[in-house]
């Protein structure tokens, strides 16, 4: 609320924002904002040099990991304030998630834990995570799977960037039962979204200096649907002659991934295949506790663990691996252009992960979460210039 | 069915050997009766008798594309060498043609013989979307509802994971492979994924029966019911219903993304897995990759009345066709499964 007042002040105080279309008098126009089509890029929620980021703890291991992130940020004096929005997954009303969405619209950036989707609730209860992604139009899910030094896996030198369409495909939540006992689920593929995700994939590949983009599909069976996706990818590929483009059917892709994952560079695919392939790749580099994920839209960015696990069975046991969440927070800092802090924390995290005796249970060790975080803080203190002296 | 009953009575007189088979409808003089048989509604109660004449079985052989023809030649060679009493009726299916005559001939042959061995028939992406996948047509027309793949670590094959023994039972006729797509608004394509109660109950029943037969302890259903609540929710419900009738077998379920991640880290935890069509495709390919690749695993498609055997991962292998480098193990193991089926 003070944020909104300050925004109008910031308009006057910060000439930095004069180049961008800005939202002024946010408080009065709040309702309008929810209904307006977002053609304006919201300015960063940066007041007095400090950013405000929405934090959604979620369920399971989310809250404890989010606490560790805050602890670490405080320790490193990162100029980020968290606006915490709790989403209760057991409530059937959508108020909680709408509040969270509003907070993200206001701040532009969020860090979230996974919100559980209870199977026992009726089908009209939509997945909260899905609602968030579609309302904010976070169309690209980017996951960078890299073999980390110090983590022993069966495959080495894996470096795959997975770009997954995040809003349509099989996750449309459109199902109906016209005849009892026969359920039809709709999988939607649109030209605009396919072009958009392909564009994003190629742009990212170019920005990161990647050589090859592989589209994953099942167009031999879903000729119109995945055929359209493939066509859009080919169209976009023609505009990037320096990047090699090829396509592979999803079953062959998964088989190649378990035998020779080093052949893949950047992969782009629709929603469901993205889910499966990203989980396979996460498994290849060491498991769900290591890989961060980012969801990008035109205007918003939400960061979370790559494989979106709630981890209910290990919640509050102090055994969860905080690496994924911490690396996600580094991605967040990079997005906020706080590169120095991001590099500092990332260095600390990677040096801790390479110490086998600190590995948590998912990596085959016996370390606890708090030990790992403490070790990261020590690493940061010994290398970084700006830390709290404790 | 009048002709059937006529030859039925004749066969009783001619072949005392077949006296024991009075319970089944008799297929004698197959060629003349094919037209009748095609129109017969296969409710699953009329199981055609084996095409066994004079102690020799007749099996339909569909060479397919890519490495199919050469591998099937090797199968025939091995069978001749081993004096296996199986005759192959070869039916070619040309994947480049748009008409469905070829595949209909193949289907007719399989209806006649009851058993087939096939190579994969290519589905060209460049052809019109109305040209349906030939393999899919075959599976749905013959109602081969269960695809069974047994992935085992083979001794002598060095893989990253050891002691894998997973049986994958995949629904073979519905799900995402319904080939029902439409473009109501230009640029927006809707693909229908169909899940029905009957088919889900059927495949779950098959899975549990097979698990019981093979003495397996655990069945895992793979699904994505947190997103596709009605569809995969129905599938899961059917599996649970069937599981309650098999108290000696533990049943659990796992979401497909977690399943694939567990498969690449700890595949030894899985025993028998049952799932809808698309997840079955992905999971079976992951498992095939874990045990050594597409050249090692055989697959079988079972229906009430028919059985078709092929390589599990259904690759055409166009790039290695006719180079004498393809691995014949998968196809040969598939032919062994066929021989098991023929008792």
Comparing CB atoms, the residue among A171, A177, A223 nearest residue B230 is A177
Residue pLDDT, tens place only, B246-298:
999 999 999 999 999 999 999 999 999 999 998 999 999 999 999 999 999 99
Give the nearest chain A residue to B316 (CA atoms).
A252
pLDDT for residue A42:
60
Work out the number of other CB atoms within 10 angstroms of the CB of residue B154.
15
pLDDT for residue B6:
44
Residue pLDDT, tens place only, B84-107:
999 999 999 888 888 888 889 999
Tell me how far apart the alpha carbons of residues B325 and A261 are, in angstroms, rounded to a whole number.
23
Residue pLDDT, tens place only, A209-235:
999 999 999 988 888 889 999 999 999
The answer to whether the CB of A268 falls within 8 A of the CB of A215 is yes
Quickly list DSSP for B125-174: TTS-TTS--HHHHHHHHTT--EEEEEEEPPTT---SS-S-EEEEEEE-SS
Distance from CA of B169 to the nearest CA of A (A): 16
Q: Is A56 helix (H, G, I), strand (E, B) or coil?
A: strand
- What residue ranges in B16-164 does DSSP mark as E strands? 52-53, 56-62, 86-90, 115-118, 146-152
Cβ pairs A/B, distance under 8 A = 176
pLDDT for residue A193:
94
pLDDT band at B48 (very low <50, low <70, confident <90, very high): low
A21-25, A255-259, A383-387, range with the lowest pLDDT: A21-25
pLDDT for residue A9:
46
A62-66, B36-40, B109-113, B279-283, range with the lowest pLDDT: B36-40
Mean pLDDT in residue range B44-72: 81
| Helix intervals (H) in chain A | 2-13, 30-35, 62-75, 95-107, 128-135, 191-207, 225-237, 250-259, 271-285, 323-335, 339-353, 369-383
For chain B, the average pLDDT equals 84
φ, ψ of residue A286 to 5 degrees: the values are: 135, -5
Residue pLDDT, tens place only, B153-186:
999 898 889 899 999 999 999 888 877 888 889 9
pLDDT for residue B95:
81
Q: Is residue A7 pLDDT above 70, yes or no?
A: no
pLDDT for residue A230:
94
Tell me how far apart the alpha carbons of residues B305 and B127 are, in angstroms, rounded to a whole number.
32
φ, ψ of residue B251 to 5 degrees: the values are: -120, 135
In a mutational test of the A interface, the residue from B193, B197, B223, B241 whose CB has the highest number of chain A CBs within 10 Å is B193
Residues of chain B in contact with residue A196, where contact means CB-CB under 8 angstroms, are: none
Give the nearest chain B residue to A281 (CA atoms).
B261
Q: Do B197 and A228 touch (CB under 8 A)?
A: no
Beta bridge partners of residue A303, listed in sequence order: A111, A294
A83-87, A166-170, A276-280, range with the lowest pLDDT: A166-170
Comparing CB atoms, the residue among B257, B262, B293 nearest residue A276 is B257
Q: Is residue B151 pLDDT above 70, yes or no?
A: yes
Q: Is residue A390 pLDDT above 70, yes or no?
A: no
Give the nearest chain B residue to A249 (CA atoms).
B282
In a mutational test of the B interface, the residue from A184, A247, A312 whose CB has the highest number of chain B CBs within 10 Å is A184
pLDDT for residue A172:
80
Residues of chain A in contact with residue B191, where contact means CB-CB under 8 angstroms, are: 186-189, 222, 224-225
φ, ψ of residue B8 to 5 degrees: the values are: -60, -50
In a mutational test of the B interface, the residue from A114, A225, A230 whose CB has the highest number of chain B CBs within 10 Å is A225
DSSP label of A42:
P
Residue pLDDT, tens place only, A9-21:
444 444 444 444 3
pLDDT for residue A149:
87
Residue pLDDT, tens place only, B134-149:
888 899 999 999 999 9
Comparing CB atoms, the residue among A130, A175, A288 nearest residue B230 is A175
Comparing CB atoms, the residue among A185, A189, A307 nearest residue B193 is A185
DSSP label of A44:
P
φ, ψ of residue A267 to 5 degrees: the values are: -125, 135
Distance from CA of A125 to the nearest CA of B (A): 9
Provide the pairing of β-strand A301-305 with A292-296: antiparallel
Residue pLDDT, tens place only, B204-224:
999 999 999 999 999 999 999
pLDDT for residue A103:
93
Give the nearest chain A residue to B136 (CA atoms).
A221
Mean pLDDT in residue range A248-273: 93
Residues of chain B in contact with residue A306, where contact means CB-CB under 8 angstroms, are: none
The answer to whether the CB of B151 falls within 8 A of the CB of B157 is no
Percent of chain A with pLDDT over 90: 61
N-term to C-term CA, chain A: 33
pTM over 0.90: no
φ, ψ of residue B59 to 5 degrees: the values are: -125, 135
Q: Which long-range contacts (CB under 8 A, 24 or more apart) does A123-127 make?
A: A123/A175, A123/B229, A123/B230, A123/B233, A125/A92, A126/A94, A126/A173, A127/A173, A127/B226, A127/B227
pLDDT for residue B97:
81
H or E element: which one contains B301? strand B298-302
For chain A, the average pLDDT equals 85
Mean pLDDT in residue range B195-207: 94
pLDDT for residue B226:
85
Q: Which of these, A294, A323, A306, A351, lies nearest to A72 by C-alpha position? A: A323
pLDDT for residue B267:
93
pLDDT for residue A86:
92
For chain B, positions 123-182, list CB contacts with chain A under 8 A.
123, 125, 129, 133, 136, 160-161, 176-177, 179, 181-182
Q: Which domains does chain A have, with CATH numbers?
A: 45-116+126-151+287-384 (3.40.718.10), 154-285 (3.40.718.10)
- ipTM score of complex: 0.80
Mean pLDDT in residue range B320-325: 88
pLDDT for residue A43:
65
Q: Is B52 helix (H, G, I), strand (E, B) or coil?
A: strand
Beta bridge partners of residue A52, listed in sequence order: A81
Tell me how far apart the alpha carbons of residues A324 and B281 are, in angstroms, rounded to a whole number.
29
Is some CB atom of chain A closer than 8 A to the CB atom of B112? no
Residue pLDDT, tens place only, A195-210:
999 999 999 999 999 9
pLDDT for residue A92:
78
Provide the pairing of β-strand A175-179 with A292-296: unpaired
Residue pLDDT, tens place only, A136-155:
999 999 999 999 988 888 99
Q: Do B188 and A190 touch (CB under 8 A)?
A: yes
Please state, in angstroms and as integers, the Cα–Cα distance from residue B263 to each residue in A160, A253, A279, B282, following that order.
19, 15, 10, 11
Distance from CA of B252 to the nearest CA of A (A): 14
Tell me how far apart the alpha carbons of residues B212 and B222 are, in angstroms, rounded to a whole number.
19
Four-residue CA torsion sign, A167, A169, A175, A181: negative
Comparing CB atoms, the residue among B228, B278, B315 nearest residue A175 is B228
């Amino acid at each position: 609320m003070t944020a909104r007042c300050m925004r109008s002040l910031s308009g006057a105080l910060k000439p930095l924002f004069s180049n961008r279309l800005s939202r002024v008098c946010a408080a009065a126009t709040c309702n309008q904002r929810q209904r307006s089509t977002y053609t304006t890029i919201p300015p960063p929620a940066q007041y007095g040099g400090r950013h405000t980021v929405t934090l959604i703890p979620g369920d399971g291991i989310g809250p404890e990991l989010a606490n560790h992130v805050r602890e670490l940020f405080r320790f490193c004096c990162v100029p980020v304030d968290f606006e915490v929005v709790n989403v209760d997954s057991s409530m059937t009303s959508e108020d909680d998630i709408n509040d969270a969405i509003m907070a993200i619209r206001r701040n532009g950036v969020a860090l979230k834990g996974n919100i559980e989707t209870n199977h026992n609730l009726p089908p009209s209860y939509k997945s909260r995570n899905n609602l968030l992604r579609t309302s904010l139009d976070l169309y690209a899910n980017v996951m960078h799977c890299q073999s980390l030094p110090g983590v022993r896996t069966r495959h080495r030198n894996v470096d795959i960037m997975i770009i997954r369409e995040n809003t349509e495909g099989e996750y449309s939540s459109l199902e109906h039962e016209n005849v009892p006992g026969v359920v039809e689920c709709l999988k939607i593929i649109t030209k605009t979204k396919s072009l958009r995700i392909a564009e994003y994939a190629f742009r990212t590949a170019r920005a990161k200096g990647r050589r090859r983009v592989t589209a994953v599909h099942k167009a031999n069976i879903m000729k119109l649907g995945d055929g359209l996706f493939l066509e859009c990818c080919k169209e976009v590929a023609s505009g990037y002659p320096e990047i090699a483009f090829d396509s592979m059917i999803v079953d062959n892709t998964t088989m190649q991934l378990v035998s020779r994952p080093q052949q893949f560079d950047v992969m782009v695919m629709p929603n469901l295949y993205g889910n499966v392939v990203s989980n396979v790749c996460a498994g290849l580099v060491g498991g769900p506790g290591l890989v961060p994920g980012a969801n990008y839209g035109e205007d918003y960015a939400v960061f979370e663990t790559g494989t979106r696990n709630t981890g209910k069975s290990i919640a509050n046991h102090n055994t969860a691996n905080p690496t994924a969440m911490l690396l996600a927070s580094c991605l967040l800092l990079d997005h906020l252009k706080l590169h120095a802090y991001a590099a500092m924390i990332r260095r600390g995290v990677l040096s801790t992960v390479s110490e086998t005796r600190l590995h948590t249970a998912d990596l085959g060790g016996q370390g606890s979460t708090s030990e790992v975080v403490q070790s990261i803080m020590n690493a940061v203190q010994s290398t970084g210039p700006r830390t709290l002296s404790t | 069915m009048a002709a059937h009953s006529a030859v039925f009575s004749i066969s009783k007189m001619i072949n005392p050997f077949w006296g024991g088979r009075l319970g089944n409808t008799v297929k004698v003089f197959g060629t003349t009766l094919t037209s009748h048989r095609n129109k017969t509604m296969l409710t699953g109660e009329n199981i055609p008798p084996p095409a066994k004449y004079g102690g020799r079985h007749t099996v339909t052989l569909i060479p397919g594309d890519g490495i199919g023809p050469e591998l099937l030649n090797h199968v025939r060679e091995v069978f001749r060498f081993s004096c296996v009493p199986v005759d192959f009726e070869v039916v070619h299916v040309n994947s480049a043609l748009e008409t469905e005559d070829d595949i209909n001939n193949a289907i007719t042959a399989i209806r006649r013989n009851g058993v087939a061995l096939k190579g994969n028939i290519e589905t060209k992406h460049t052809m019109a979307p109305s040209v349906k996948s030939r393999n899919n047509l075959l599976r749905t027309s013959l109602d081969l509802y269960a695809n069974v793949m047994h992935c085992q670590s083979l001794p002598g094959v060095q893989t990253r994971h050891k002691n894998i023994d997973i049986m994958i039972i995949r629904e073979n006729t519905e799900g995402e492979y319904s080939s029902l797509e439409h473009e109501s608004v230009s640029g927006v394509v809707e693909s229908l994924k169909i899940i029905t109660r009957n088919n889900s109950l059927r495949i779950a029943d098959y899975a549990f029966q097979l698990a019981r037969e093979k003495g397996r302890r655990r069945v895992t259903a793979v699904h994505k019911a947190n997103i596709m609540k009605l569809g995969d929710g129905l599938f899961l419900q059917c599996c649970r219903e069937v599981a309650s009738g098999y108290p000696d077998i533990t049943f659990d379920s796992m979401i497909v993304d977690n399943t694939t991640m567990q498969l690449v880290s700890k595949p030894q935890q899985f025993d028998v897995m049952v799932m809808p069509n698309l997840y079955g495709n992905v999971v079976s390919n992951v498992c095939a990759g874990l045990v050594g690749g597409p050249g090692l695993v055989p697959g079988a498609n079972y229906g009430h009345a028919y059985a078709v055997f092929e390589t599990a991962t259904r690759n055409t292998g166009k790039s290695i066709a006719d180079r004498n480098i393809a691995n014949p193990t998968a196809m040969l193991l598939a032919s062994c499964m066929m021989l098991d089926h023929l008792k």
